[in-house]
Amino acid sequence: MDLSLIPVFVLLPITMISSLTFGVSRNFYCKDFSVSNGGRFLFNSIISIICAIIIFAFSGFNLSASTFTILTGIAFGVVTVFSTVLYLVAVSIGPWSYTSVLISSSTIITAIAGTIIWQESIDIFTIFGILFMVVCILLSTKKKEGEKNSASPKWLLFCVLAALASSGVGLLQKTHQTSSFKLELFPFLTIAFFVSAIVSFICFLIVKNKQPLFSTSERTENLSRKKFIGFICLIFILAGITFAFNNIINLYLSGVMPSAVFFPIVNGGGLVLATITSIFLFKEKLSKLQWIGISSGIIAILFLCI
């Protein structure tokens, strides 16, 4: 599969739609099917296996890779575990729309790193983007009077940790795709997701008996056992397939587009789609200050895209 034959303007919407589908799937999972750490690690283990198999097939079942690709692939796999699980914790505590905004602040780190490490330019728009993201973060936990702690300091902490892990994913993508081993894209991702699956499964075995693995919500409490398991399997498959395509395209684009352009566009586009989806699909309600904050976050991403 030669991605260089496909125009960038075609790949960008594909990866954003894949990211949205993956986001919707894992949001349903962590809010309606499992809020335990065992369930989160199981989710990441299964979707990582699906990703690894799909990517391995795209590579022509070829795992031949340099030592650099193997080592960065292992690092990518471990960081991906933390990124996904921290995101699942954050979104199970707070609103998906605002969680997406805050985790998208990882764009700032990757943009600055692109300037320092890869000598990519930074301008006044990036500075404004950072300032608007600061406003977004400051207003993130402002709730309506009498509202329960759905958007709390604990949620903000996990959002920040997830953003740091997400920036680590982006930096490892850029590191590999700006190296002389960038053509080893498929072995890199195959190794990464096999490692992610193994690490997640070990963590799952450690914590699985500490809490019930699955739970129900108002939407799932009346489902029969057969339908409940069927929905979980569907979520795993859908999330695994879309996550695989999202990572394949993102890894390629991170090497052919400047960091200060690629990461904000992908995160910004995904952010807008996630916000719209959260309003219509998940009926999320935010306070006025939170809406000002989320608007600031979107403006920040748009500034970073210019």
25 falls within a domain: yes
Say what the pLDDT of residue 286 is. 66
Q: Is residue 147 domain-resident?
A: yes
Range of the domain at 273: 7-305
pLDDT in tens, 5-39: 888 888 988 998 998 899 889 888 988 898 788 99
Domain-embedded: residue 115 = yes
pLDDT in tens, 255-291: 788 766 676 677 666 666 776 777 777 676 667 776 7
pLDDT at position 69 is: 96
Beta carbons of 78 and 200 less than 8 angstroms apart: no
Q: Is the pLDDT of residue 141 over 70?
A: no
Name the domain count of the chain: 1
pLDDT of residue 200: 95
- How confident is residue 114, by pLDDT bands cut at 50, 70 and 90? low
Question: Is the residue at 2 inside a domain?
Answer: no
Question: Would residue 181 count as lying in a domain?
Answer: yes
How big is the CA angle at 14 (ends 10 and 17), to the nearest 5 degrees?
145
List, in order, residues 6 or more apart from 118 with CB less than 8 Å away.
174, 178, 259
In 54-152 the beta strands, taken as DSSP E runs, fall at: none
In the prediction, which pLDDT does 232 show? Answer: 93
Question: What is the model's pLDDT at position 119?
Answer: 63
Q: What is the pLDDT of residues 237-258, one digit of tens each?
A: 999 999 999 989 988 887 788 7
pLDDT of residue 149: 43
What's the predicted TM-score (pTM) here?
0.76
What tokens were used for 306?
A: 């210019």
Q: Is the pLDDT of residue 148 over 50?
A: no
pLDDT band for position 209 (50/70/90)?
confident
Within a domain: residue 1? no
DSSP assignment string, 235-296? HHHHHHHHHHHHHHHHHHHHHHS-HHHHHHHHHHHHHHHHHHHHHHTS-----HHHHHHHHH
Burial class for 290, CB neighbours closer than 10 Å (0-12, 13-18, 19+): buried
Report if residue 48 sits inside a domain: yes
Distance CA 140, CA 153 (A): 9
pLDDT recorded at residue 223 = 87
Distance (Å, whole) CA 14 – CA 3 = 12
Q: Is residue 14 part of a domain?
A: yes
Query: Is pLDDT at 122 greater than 70 in this prediction?
Result: no
Looking at the predicted structure, is the pLDDT value of residue 106 above 60?
Answer: yes
Name, in order, each residue with C-beta under 8 angstroms of 230's C-beta and a sequence gap of 6 or more: none
Closest CA to 253 of 174, 200, 142, 157: 174
Amino acid letter, 74: I
Is the confidence at residue 231, as pLDDT, over 90? yes
Summary mean pLDDT of the chain? 82
Give the pLDDT of residue 264: 63
Judged by average pLDDT, the poorest of 50-64, 112-126, 235-249 is 112-126
Q: Which two tokens stand for residue 263?
A: 């990461």
Identify the residue with better confidence: 120 or 246.
246
